[in-house]
Amino acid sequence: MGDLVLRTRVAVARRNLKRVRELSRTVEMRLAGLGEFLNLPQTLRADLDDAWRMSHELEALAREYQYESPQLLEEVQSLTQQLNKIGRDLQKKCDEAEQLRNELVQLFSQRRDVDDFLLKSARQLEPNLTVNNYFQNQKRIDALFSEYVDLLRGVALRSAGFGDDDAQLSDLFLIADQLPSLWGRVDGWSWQSLAVPSRQDGSGSSEAMVLRVGFPEWTIWALPFVQHGFGHVFAKKRQFAAPGRADAISAAALADALATVATGPAYACAALLLRLDPAEVTGPTEATVRSATILVTLRQIAAADPDGPLAILTDRLCAEWRDAVSTAAGDVGAFESAMAAPLSADLADWARRELLGLDADGDPQEPLWLQHWGTIATWAGHLQEGHHENIDLADAAISDDDRPMALAYVLDAAWLARVGTQASEDAPAYAEDVIAKGAIAKMLEVVRPHARPPGGAGRAGPSRRPNR
Amino acid sequence: MLADRADSSLETLDPANREDSRKRLQKAQDLIAETLGFLAAASARRINLDDGMTSLAQDWLDTLSDAAGLPQIAVVIPAPSEFTGMVTQVVRLRLPVDGVWGLPVAIHEYGHFVAAQMARRAERDGIERTVIPVEDLLHSTASKEDLPLLYWHGHEVFSDAFAAATAGPAYTHYCIRYRFDPLTAHEVTATHPSAVRRIRVQLTVLDMLASKDRGGFLIGEVAGLRRRWLAGLEANGVDPGEAPDPQLDPLENELVQLLLADEDLSRIRYSDHAAARALAEQPLDQQRQAPSVTHALNAAWCRRQAIEKDEADPYVIARRVDDVARATKQFVRQVIDHG
């Protein structure tokens, strides 16, 4: 019997693994092309200097004839002024190009996990792949290729300058890259991979720990999903699975519990209001277990202050989700059962114990975001009023800790500005863009504190009224 | 002004009318006693016997008067008991003071003054004139019912409602922790209604503020206050309910409505409890400016409750609570001086 099929597939796999190994080179080549493009303002600047020098010479000449032809001098001076203005604009573009170039270079040079995990896996697999072990390795190879494609596509999308007046995609993912650092180090390891735009959110851990943020929302509102992706990475690192269950639903619910503890209600809002489908709450389905776990996690955290703002917000989210399930002809009873089931409580409890540290009585401590909930609520007010400049990031400072917690606080503040503890506090639809714009501007101040204000995300301005 | 009045009263004194003369002399003696008391109090304040609290209170009340467009009170002085002289406009605060925790009592006393100052234009009998709605309501209700007690009790109820509306939960915290004894919670005096009623009106006002306060912080705070008060009553076997009072109950309701409907007073009404919580989340010595003195005082209560929740050792709690009080006092001074 021939082995043509296998040999062909091994050859294809090897060729692709080689490509994976050369990922850095591929990206460097792409960045080299982009580099030439980014050099354009600098090249133009040199040409402009020539024109500027010539205009000055012309002006000196026109000055000699100013009595005979005063108009000539005026015209030449006007030309010089125009060149000066172009020069200033060009300088601004040079600065922006320089910043973009730096960020793109950092994209790969500082995100070591891609090299450490993805390329290492490819290097290990390629020489050892034979017709005898192809099928044993096929799943892993497919996952590697999928990740490779996601990475390339993600880097391309991030560097293409997509976006609108409010935010560039690259800005958004620059923030996304920093979100896992809110979790601190996991057994001495800290995440240094990439967050990339993808068709679907990351639902499982990947070789290179790449975190995927799924369409349709590549906006600040979807940023909390990065934390779900990292929840899978964290659980894998800590080698934890739901007690007695190793299925995909429990794994996703565990990542949800972790993401909720690490981020706060922003994650619950994003998951319940943007992603999970209430129509799929029809039994012990993924949507049922995940939504229940998220809400049970918030409830456990809020339990210490049963009349407090978090408890009120949690009750509201719970009621809204129940209504959504009912409206979508889902099974509210299934959701209630999942809320009461030991699984959601166990996952929430484990996530809190893992991430929060324990107090003297052995109970999980309050998350930092809850300790700063007053600050977060105040920031939410500033964001809703279109005055993000009133947010002082120093208020988020925590002692003896280098985690950029302000990112979580701004994310929570943005969601709290959009969804209040009661319906009357919800932001009107026309204010959502203002909130998002202000929040991104503040988060960029955290991730690149010394940079200029981003082009499109400067002062958010007063709330816009809808056009009539 | 009072001295002039007493002086002219003595000038026209008719020695033949013994009863009238006795009354006039008594008035003059009272005035001298009052003056001596005032001078003693002013001296006590000058030598800082009150730990600077009355001058702090006076500056705070002045900022509130300015913000609400009301006249300023004459002076705040330390005294053996609280009292606000409606004619002299002197607010007395009781010594010994309880530090910043007791500062909101100044707002209650100020409430008596405000009740006499709240004026609005209204048409009566076809003529537009200035009316003093709270005073008018209290006078008319008390005389109609022929119950002078109603006037004084109504005044106290209004001042409690005013203090809760202006100082927020900080005033009610103080009443529950320091002033009102659950064992005597149903006691009524000639001047004061029962503590049960006084707390009830404060919680009613705070509930109304909480329903409009963004973020849900005030709802939780008021629920905590209610729980604490009821627990205190229950622990002492005291009925938490107040017996219905056909005269005072409707008056209480009308006074609260008048208070909350007043546009000038709405400018000094407590709101944005989240801002107080945010203040409490950072050490006070690392703060930028507080939104108001009231927020600083409420932030102090937030910090105090957090300490009491975290700590088990009563000595550590007392020390840390004292630290909060000291820092808050300095901070309040800064807010007043630079605000």
Give A281-329 pLDDT, tens digit per residue: 998 999 999 999 999 999 999 998 888 999 999 999 999 999 999 999 9
Helix (H/G/I), strand (E/B), else coil: B233: helix
**Closest residue by Cα to residue B219 from A419, A366, A306:** A306
Nearest chain B residue to A392 by CA distance is B288
pLDDT value of position A141: 78
Helix (H) or strand (E) run with residue B79 in it: strand B75-79
A336, part of any domain = no
| pLDDT-wise least confident of A424-433, B6-15, B50-59, B212-221 | B6-15
What whole-number distance in Å separates Cα of residue B228 and Cα of residue B225?
A: 5
Nearest chain A residue to B306 by CA distance is A371
**Closest residue by Cα to residue B293 from B45, B64, B91, B71:** B64
Taking the CA of residue B268 and the nearest CA in chain A, the distance in Å comes to 19
Which residues, at least 6 apart from A394, have a Cβ–Cβ distance to it below 8 Å? none
pLDDT value of position A357: 83
Give the long-range contacts of residues A62-68, CB within 8 A, separation 24 or more.
none
Q: In angstroms, what CA-CA distances link B205 with A279, B182, B259, B269?
A: 43, 21, 10, 11
Q: Taking CB atoms and an 8 Å limit, are B224 and A372 in contact across chains?
A: no
pLDDT value of position A207: 56
The two beta strands, B90-94 and B83-84, are antiparallel
| pLDDT-wise least confident of A228-237, B85-94, B184-193, B319-328 | B85-94
Taking the CA of residue A421 and the nearest CA in chain B, the distance in Å comes to 6
Q: Taking each helix axis from N to C terminus, what angle separates B18-46 and B2-11, rounded to the nearest 10 degrees?
A: 150
pLDDT tier, B220 (very low <50, low <70, confident <90, very high otherwise): very high
Q: Where would I find the beta strands (DSSP E) of A93-208?
A: 195-198
Which residues, at least 6 apart from B143, have a Cβ–Cβ distance to it below 8 Å? none
Range of the domain at A32: 19-158
Residue B145 has pLDDT above 80, yes or no: no
> What residues of chain A have any CB closer than 8 angstroms to a CB in chain B?
305, 307-309, 311-313, 371-375, 377-378, 380-381, 392, 395, 416, 420-422, 425
**Closest residue by Cα to residue B106 from B167, B40, B196, B51:** B167
What whole-number distance in Å separates Cα of residue B99 and Cα of residue B76?
A: 15
| Burial of B168 (C-beta count, 10 Å sphere; 0-12/13-18/19+) | buried
Taking the CA of residue B173 and the nearest CA in chain A, the distance in Å comes to 17
Q: In angstroms, what CA-CA distances link A355 with A177, A179, A185, A186?
A: 20, 15, 10, 10
CB nearest to A381's CB, from B214, B277, B302:
B214
What whole-number distance in Å separates Cα of residue B107 and Cα of residue B91?
A: 10
Is cis: bond before A216, omega within 30 of 0?
yes
Residue A71 is given by DSSP the state H
Chain B contact set for A365 (CB, 8 A): none
Choice between B207 and A226, residue whose per-residue pLDDT is larger: B207
| Tokens of residue B173, six digits | 């915290």
**What predicted TM-score, i.e. pTM, was given to this entire model?**
0.77
**Domain locations in chain B?**
272-339
| Burial of A43 (C-beta count, 10 Å sphere; 0-12/13-18/19+) | exposed
A32, part of any domain = yes
Nearest chain A residue to B272 by CA distance is A378
Taking the CA of residue A308 and the nearest CA in chain B, the distance in Å comes to 5
pLDDT value of position B288: 67
Beta-carbon neighbour count of residue A220 at 10 Å? 28
pLDDT tier, B116 (very low <50, low <70, confident <90, very high otherwise): confident
A108, part of any domain = yes
Q: Taking CB atoms and an 8 Å limit, are B216 and A395 in contact across chains?
A: no
How many pairs of residues across A and B have Cβ atoms under 8 Å apart? 64
Q: Taking CB atoms and an 8 Å limit, are B278 and A374 in contact across chains?
A: yes
Last residue of a domain, one of A93, A126, A158: A158
Q: How many folded domains does chain A comprise?
A: 2
Interface predicted TM-score (ipTM) over 0.85: no
pLDDT value of position A461: 36
A2, part of any domain = no
| pLDDT-wise least confident of A172-176, A317-321, B125-129, B190-194 | B125-129
Amino acid, single-letter form, for residue B72: Q
Q: Which residues pair with A163 in a beta bridge?
A: A168
- H helix count then E strand count, chain A: 18, 2
Beta-carbon neighbour count of residue A327 at 10 Å? 10
Q: In angstroms, what CA-CA distances link B269 with B62, B135, B162, B172, B220?
A: 15, 20, 9, 15, 19
What whole-number distance in Å separates Cα of residue B167 and Cα of residue B104?
A: 6
A226, part of any domain = no
What whole-number distance in Å separates Cα of residue A352 and Cα of residue A338?
A: 19
Nearest chain B residue to A396 by CA distance is B282
Chain A contact set for B220 (CB, 8 A): 305, 307-309, 311-312
Best A359, A365, A371, A373 residue to mutate vs chain B (most B CBs within 10 Å): A373
Euclidean distance between the first and the last CA atom of chain A, given in angstroms as a whole number: 75
Choice between B316 and A454, residue whose per-residue pLDDT is larger: B316
| Tokens of residue B14, six digits | 């008719």
Choice between A7 and B163, residue whose per-residue pLDDT is larger: B163
Choice between A16 and B270, residue whose per-residue pLDDT is larger: B270
Q: Are A265 and A310 in contact (CB under 8 A)?
A: yes
CB nearest to B219's CB, from A307, A374, A381:
A307
What whole-number distance in Å separates Cα of residue B13 and Cα of residue A65?
A: 105
What whole-number distance in Å separates Cα of residue B70 and Cα of residue A184?
A: 54
Helix (H) or strand (E) run with residue A346 in it: helix A342-356
Q: Taking CB atoms and an 8 Å limit, are B280 and A374 in contact across chains?
A: yes
Residues of chain A with pLDDT below 70 are 1, 20, 23-35, 100-118, 157, 159-167, 189-193, 198-210, 214-217, 241-246, 398-401, 449-468
CB nearest to A375's CB, from B214, B220, B281:
B281
pLDDT tier, B244 (very low <50, low <70, confident <90, very high otherwise): confident
Q: Taking CB atoms and an 8 Å limit, are A422 and B216 in contact across chains?
A: yes
Taking the CA of residue A14 and the nearest CA in chain B, the distance in Å comes to 57
Q: Taking CB atoms and an 8 Å limit, are B215 and A377 in contact across chains?
A: yes
Average pLDDT score over residue span B210-227 = 93
